[in-house]
Structure 1
Amino acid sequence: MSDETAIAQLLYRYARAVDTKDWQLYRSVFTDDAHIDYSSAGAAVGGRDEVADWLAAGFGTIPWSMHYITNIESDVTGDTASVRAMFYNPMQLPGMAEQSACGGYYHHELVRTADGWRSRSLREDNVWFVNAPGRG
Protein backbone atom coordinates (compact mmCIF):
# COMPACT_ATOMS: atom_id res chain seq x y z
CA MET A 1 0.00 0.00 0.00
CA SER A 2 1.36 3.42 -0.89
CA ASP A 3 2.01 5.95 1.85
CA GLU A 4 -0.68 8.23 0.42
CA THR A 5 -3.27 5.46 0.50
CA ALA A 6 -2.32 4.43 4.04
CA ILE A 7 -2.49 8.06 5.19
CA ALA A 8 -5.91 8.53 3.61
CA GLN A 9 -7.11 5.36 5.36
CA LEU A 10 -5.90 6.77 8.70
CA LEU A 11 -7.88 9.98 8.15
CA TYR A 12 -10.98 8.04 7.15
CA ARG A 13 -10.63 5.91 10.30
CA TYR A 14 -10.46 9.15 12.30
CA ALA A 15 -13.76 10.32 10.75
CA ARG A 16 -15.45 6.97 11.41
CA ALA A 17 -14.23 6.97 15.01
CA VAL A 18 -15.67 10.42 15.72
CA ASP A 19 -18.96 9.80 13.92
CA THR A 20 -19.55 6.43 15.58
CA LYS A 21 -18.28 7.73 18.94
CA ASP A 22 -15.74 4.89 19.12
CA TRP A 23 -13.16 6.49 21.39
CA GLN A 24 -10.85 3.46 21.41
CA LEU A 25 -10.72 3.63 17.62
CA TYR A 26 -10.16 7.38 17.92
CA ARG A 27 -7.18 6.77 20.22
CA SER A 28 -5.72 4.30 17.69
CA VAL A 29 -5.32 7.09 15.14
CA PHE A 30 -2.82 8.89 17.37
CA THR A 31 0.49 8.22 19.08
CA ASP A 32 0.35 7.91 22.85
CA ASP A 33 1.95 11.36 23.24
CA ALA A 34 -0.05 13.12 20.52
CA HIS A 35 -1.17 16.73 20.90
CA ILE A 36 -4.64 17.63 19.59
CA ASP A 37 -5.89 21.18 19.11
CA TYR A 38 -9.57 21.84 18.38
CA SER A 39 -9.42 25.41 19.73
CA SER A 40 -10.51 27.01 16.44
CA ALA A 41 -13.90 25.35 17.01
CA GLY A 42 -13.98 26.37 20.68
CA ALA A 43 -13.25 22.80 21.76
CA ALA A 44 -10.58 20.84 23.61
CA VAL A 45 -6.81 21.16 23.39
CA GLY A 46 -4.47 18.63 24.97
CA GLY A 47 -3.08 15.14 24.92
CA ARG A 48 -4.73 12.22 23.14
CA ASP A 49 -6.39 10.67 26.18
CA GLU A 50 -7.46 14.01 27.65
CA VAL A 51 -9.13 15.05 24.39
CA ALA A 52 -10.68 11.60 23.83
CA ASP A 53 -12.19 11.74 27.32
CA TRP A 54 -13.49 15.26 26.66
CA LEU A 55 -15.08 14.12 23.39
CA ALA A 56 -16.59 11.04 25.05
CA ALA A 57 -18.20 13.22 27.73
CA GLY A 58 -19.57 15.91 25.40
CA PHE A 59 -19.90 14.43 21.94
CA GLY A 60 -22.32 11.78 23.16
CA THR A 61 -25.03 14.43 23.26
CA ILE A 62 -24.74 15.02 19.51
CA PRO A 63 -27.33 12.76 17.85
CA TRP A 64 -25.32 12.42 14.63
CA SER A 65 -22.43 13.81 12.64
CA MET A 66 -20.94 12.77 9.33
CA HIS A 67 -17.38 13.89 8.62
CA TYR A 68 -16.22 14.03 5.02
CA ILE A 69 -12.46 14.30 4.54
CA THR A 70 -11.20 15.33 1.09
CA ASN A 71 -8.33 16.95 -0.80
CA ILE A 72 -5.69 15.12 1.22
CA GLU A 73 -2.21 16.50 0.58
CA SER A 74 0.67 14.51 2.07
CA ASP A 75 4.31 15.57 2.19
CA VAL A 76 6.11 12.35 3.13
CA THR A 77 9.74 12.50 4.19
CA GLY A 78 11.01 9.11 5.29
CA ASP A 79 9.04 8.09 8.37
CA THR A 80 7.27 11.41 8.89
CA ALA A 81 4.57 13.21 6.95
CA SER A 82 2.86 16.58 7.05
CA VAL A 83 -0.76 16.30 5.96
CA ARG A 84 -3.38 18.90 5.11
CA ALA A 85 -6.93 17.78 4.40
CA MET A 86 -10.27 19.52 4.01
CA PHE A 87 -13.23 18.51 6.12
CA TYR A 88 -16.96 19.05 5.85
CA ASN A 89 -19.09 18.02 8.81
CA PRO A 90 -22.88 18.20 8.76
CA MET A 91 -24.36 17.37 12.17
CA GLN A 92 -27.44 17.51 14.33
CA LEU A 93 -26.73 19.42 17.52
CA PRO A 94 -28.76 18.80 20.67
CA GLY A 95 -31.73 21.10 21.12
CA MET A 96 -31.51 22.53 17.63
CA ALA A 97 -34.27 21.93 15.06
CA GLU A 98 -32.13 22.60 11.98
CA GLN A 99 -29.02 20.80 10.84
CA SER A 100 -25.69 22.50 11.49
CA ALA A 101 -22.47 22.14 9.53
CA CYS A 102 -18.87 23.25 9.68
CA GLY A 103 -15.81 22.95 7.51
CA GLY A 104 -12.16 23.70 7.33
CA TYR A 105 -8.81 21.97 7.38
CA TYR A 106 -7.09 19.28 9.41
CA HIS A 107 -3.33 19.66 9.79
CA HIS A 108 -1.66 16.43 10.91
CA GLU A 109 1.96 15.65 11.67
CA LEU A 110 2.30 11.89 11.19
CA VAL A 111 4.90 9.35 12.11
CA ARG A 112 5.33 5.84 10.72
CA THR A 113 5.12 3.26 13.52
CA ALA A 114 5.27 -0.54 13.65
CA ASP A 115 1.44 -0.38 13.42
CA GLY A 116 1.42 1.99 10.44
CA TRP A 117 0.97 5.76 10.22
CA ARG A 118 -0.17 7.56 13.38
CA SER A 119 -0.82 11.24 14.08
CA ARG A 120 1.42 12.83 16.67
CA SER A 121 -0.20 16.23 16.17
CA LEU A 122 -3.59 17.36 14.91
CA ARG A 123 -4.65 20.99 14.58
CA GLU A 124 -8.13 21.73 13.32
CA ASP A 125 -8.59 24.97 11.40
CA ASN A 126 -12.35 25.53 11.52
CA VAL A 127 -13.05 28.02 8.71
CA TRP A 128 -16.85 28.24 8.82
CA PHE A 129 -19.84 27.11 10.88
CA VAL A 130 -23.48 27.32 9.79
CA ASN A 131 -26.25 27.30 12.40
CA ALA A 132 -23.88 27.24 15.35
CA PRO A 133 -25.51 27.05 18.79
CA GLY A 134 -26.03 30.41 20.47
CA ARG A 135 -25.55 32.35 17.23
CA GLY A 136 -28.96 33.47 16.03
Structure 2
Amino acid sequence: MISHQELSDRMEIQNILALYCEAIDNRDWEALDDFFTEDAIIDYTATGGLKCTLPEAKTYLDRALQQFNGGQHMIGVPLITFNGDVAKSRTILFNPMIVERENQPHVFFVGAWYVDEFIRTDKGWRIRHRNEECSYFHNLPADFEAQE
Protein backbone atom coordinates (compact mmCIF):
# COMPACT_ATOMS: atom_id res chain seq x y z
CA MET A 1 0.00 0.00 0.00
CA ILE A 2 1.28 3.46 -0.92
CA SER A 3 1.72 5.81 2.04
CA HIS A 4 0.30 9.32 2.15
CA GLN A 5 3.86 10.67 1.96
CA GLU A 6 4.61 8.70 -1.19
CA LEU A 7 1.35 9.86 -2.78
CA SER A 8 2.28 13.44 -1.97
CA ASP A 9 5.81 12.95 -3.34
CA ARG A 10 4.48 11.40 -6.55
CA MET A 11 2.04 14.27 -7.08
CA GLU A 12 4.77 16.85 -6.50
CA ILE A 13 7.10 15.16 -8.99
CA GLN A 14 4.33 14.79 -11.58
CA ASN A 15 3.51 18.47 -11.14
CA ILE A 16 7.15 19.46 -11.69
CA LEU A 17 7.23 17.39 -14.90
CA ALA A 18 4.03 19.02 -16.20
CA LEU A 19 5.15 22.53 -15.23
CA TYR A 20 8.50 21.94 -16.97
CA CYS A 21 6.62 21.22 -20.22
CA GLU A 22 4.48 24.33 -19.75
CA ALA A 23 7.57 26.46 -19.12
CA ILE A 24 9.34 25.13 -22.23
CA ASP A 25 6.32 25.66 -24.47
CA ASN A 26 5.87 29.19 -23.08
CA ARG A 27 9.61 29.85 -23.25
CA ASP A 28 9.67 30.81 -19.59
CA TRP A 29 13.30 30.00 -18.89
CA GLU A 30 13.34 31.54 -15.42
CA ALA A 31 10.64 29.08 -14.30
CA LEU A 32 13.18 26.29 -14.77
CA ASP A 33 14.87 27.47 -11.56
CA ASP A 34 11.85 26.04 -9.70
CA PHE A 35 12.31 22.55 -11.14
CA PHE A 36 16.07 21.90 -11.08
CA THR A 37 18.77 21.99 -8.43
CA GLU A 38 21.37 24.72 -8.86
CA ASP A 39 23.99 22.09 -9.77
CA ALA A 40 21.74 20.08 -12.12
CA ILE A 41 23.18 18.42 -15.21
CA ILE A 42 20.82 18.32 -18.18
CA ASP A 43 21.63 16.12 -21.16
CA TYR A 44 19.78 16.89 -24.41
CA THR A 45 22.43 15.27 -26.66
CA ALA A 46 20.18 12.39 -27.79
CA THR A 47 17.98 14.87 -29.68
CA GLY A 48 20.81 17.02 -31.02
CA GLY A 49 21.29 19.35 -28.07
CA LEU A 50 23.85 19.88 -25.33
CA LYS A 51 24.86 18.30 -22.06
CA CYS A 52 25.00 21.27 -19.75
CA THR A 53 24.27 23.04 -16.49
CA LEU A 54 20.96 24.78 -15.80
CA PRO A 55 22.21 28.28 -16.77
CA GLU A 56 23.67 26.85 -19.98
CA ALA A 57 20.40 24.99 -20.67
CA LYS A 58 18.38 28.20 -20.40
CA THR A 59 20.68 29.95 -22.88
CA TYR A 60 20.68 26.93 -25.21
CA LEU A 61 16.88 26.52 -25.13
CA ASP A 62 16.31 30.22 -25.82
CA ARG A 63 18.57 30.06 -28.86
CA ALA A 64 17.56 26.61 -30.16
CA LEU A 65 13.80 27.08 -29.91
CA GLN A 66 13.81 30.36 -31.86
CA GLN A 67 13.72 28.37 -35.09
CA PHE A 68 10.32 26.88 -34.21
CA ASN A 69 6.95 28.53 -34.77
CA GLY A 70 5.39 26.33 -32.14
CA GLY A 71 5.34 23.00 -30.45
CA GLN A 72 3.89 21.06 -27.56
CA HIS A 73 5.64 18.94 -24.99
CA MET A 74 3.17 16.23 -23.99
CA ILE A 75 4.14 13.68 -21.37
CA GLY A 76 2.71 10.43 -20.10
CA VAL A 77 2.38 9.30 -16.51
CA PRO A 78 5.91 8.90 -15.13
CA LEU A 79 7.27 5.67 -13.70
CA ILE A 80 8.76 6.74 -10.35
CA THR A 81 10.86 4.82 -7.85
CA PHE A 82 11.96 6.14 -4.47
CA ASN A 83 15.02 5.53 -2.35
CA GLY A 84 14.73 7.81 0.66
CA ASP A 85 15.17 11.42 -0.46
CA VAL A 86 16.10 10.41 -4.03
CA ALA A 87 13.60 9.50 -6.73
CA LYS A 88 14.14 8.28 -10.27
CA SER A 89 11.59 8.67 -13.01
CA ARG A 90 11.13 7.77 -16.65
CA THR A 91 8.52 9.77 -18.52
CA ILE A 92 7.46 9.36 -22.15
CA LEU A 93 7.48 12.54 -24.24
CA PHE A 94 5.58 13.22 -27.47
CA ASN A 95 6.71 16.51 -28.99
CA PRO A 96 5.24 17.86 -32.24
CA MET A 97 7.23 20.85 -33.50
CA ILE A 98 6.51 23.40 -36.25
CA VAL A 99 9.14 24.90 -38.53
CA GLU A 100 8.66 27.10 -41.58
CA ARG A 101 9.58 25.51 -44.91
CA GLU A 102 8.85 27.13 -48.29
CA ASN A 103 6.52 29.64 -46.59
CA GLN A 104 4.46 26.79 -45.16
CA PRO A 105 4.34 25.35 -41.64
CA HIS A 106 6.01 21.95 -41.50
CA VAL A 107 5.15 19.71 -38.53
CA PHE A 108 7.49 16.99 -37.37
CA PHE A 109 7.38 14.77 -34.33
CA VAL A 110 9.87 13.79 -31.66
CA GLY A 111 9.35 10.76 -29.44
CA ALA A 112 11.56 10.62 -26.38
CA TRP A 113 11.79 9.90 -22.67
CA TYR A 114 12.85 12.12 -19.82
CA VAL A 115 14.98 10.02 -17.47
CA ASP A 116 15.32 12.06 -14.30
CA GLU A 117 16.88 11.86 -10.89
CA PHE A 118 15.10 13.98 -8.30
CA ILE A 119 16.30 14.93 -4.86
CA ARG A 120 14.21 16.19 -1.96
CA THR A 121 15.42 19.67 -0.98
CA ASP A 122 14.25 22.23 1.55
CA LYS A 123 12.25 23.73 -1.39
CA GLY A 124 10.67 20.39 -2.29
CA TRP A 125 11.60 17.89 -4.98
CA ARG A 126 14.01 19.11 -7.67
CA ILE A 127 15.58 17.48 -10.72
CA ARG A 128 19.29 16.87 -10.13
CA HIS A 129 19.96 15.10 -13.41
CA ARG A 130 17.95 14.91 -16.64
CA ASN A 131 18.87 12.62 -19.49
CA GLU A 132 16.75 12.85 -22.61
CA GLU A 133 16.55 9.56 -24.54
CA CYS A 134 15.40 9.72 -28.15
CA SER A 135 13.05 7.10 -29.57
CA TYR A 136 12.29 8.60 -32.99
CA PHE A 137 11.93 11.59 -35.25
CA HIS A 138 9.06 11.49 -37.76
CA ASN A 139 8.67 13.81 -40.75
CA LEU A 140 11.87 15.68 -39.94
CA PRO A 141 12.73 18.07 -42.79
CA ALA A 142 15.68 16.79 -44.83
CA ASP A 143 17.52 20.10 -44.35
CA PHE A 144 16.88 20.35 -40.60
CA GLU A 145 19.86 20.97 -38.33
CA ALA A 146 19.58 21.21 -34.56
CA GLN A 147 20.81 24.50 -33.11
CA GLU A 148 23.52 24.20 -30.47
**Structure 2: which amino acid aligns with 1:23?**
W
Contact 1:27 1:52 in 2 (8 A): no
- 1:18 Cα deviation (Å)? 0.6
Quick check: which has more Rg, 1 or 2?
A: 2
Tell me the TM-score normalised to structure 1 length: 0.92
Tell me the TM-score normalised to structure 2 length: 0.85
Number of aligned residue pairs: give it.
136
**What RMSD over aligned residues (CA atoms) do the two structures have, in Å?**
1.6
Contact 2:100 2:106 in 1 (8 A): no
Work out the CA distance in 2 between the residues paired with 1:100 and 1:30. 28
Match of 1:111 in 2: 119
**Structure 1: which amino acid aligns with 2:11?**
T
Contact 1:27 1:49 in 2 (8 A): no
2:40 is equivalent to residue 54 of structure 1: no
2:142 is equivalent to residue 134 of structure 1: yes
Match of 1:74 in 2: 80
Deviations 1:47-70 (A, max 9, x none): 111111111122123111111110
Work out the CA distance in 1 between the residues paired with 2:125 and 2:118. 6
Distance 1:94 1:26, change over 3 A: farther
Deviations 1:34-82 (A, max 9, x none): 0000111011111111111111122123111111110311101111101
2:93 is equivalent to residue 87 of structure 1: yes
Work out the CA distance in 2 between the residues paired with 1:133 and 1:29. 32
Distance 1:42 1:17, change over 3 A: same
- SS in structure 2 at match of 1:75: strand
**Deviation beyond 6 Å, 4+ runs, structure 1:** none
In structure 1, runs of 5+ residues without a counterpart are none
Work out the CA distance in 1 between the residues paired with 2:26 and 2:120. 25
Match of 1:124 in 2: 132
2:18 is equivalent to residue 12 of structure 1: yes
Work out the CA distance in 2 between the residues paired with 1:102 and 1:24. 24
Which of 24, 30, 35 lines up with 2:36 in the alignment? 30
Match of 1:98 in 2: 106
- 1:113 Cα deviation (Å)? 1.1
Contact 1:21 1:60 in 2 (8 A): no
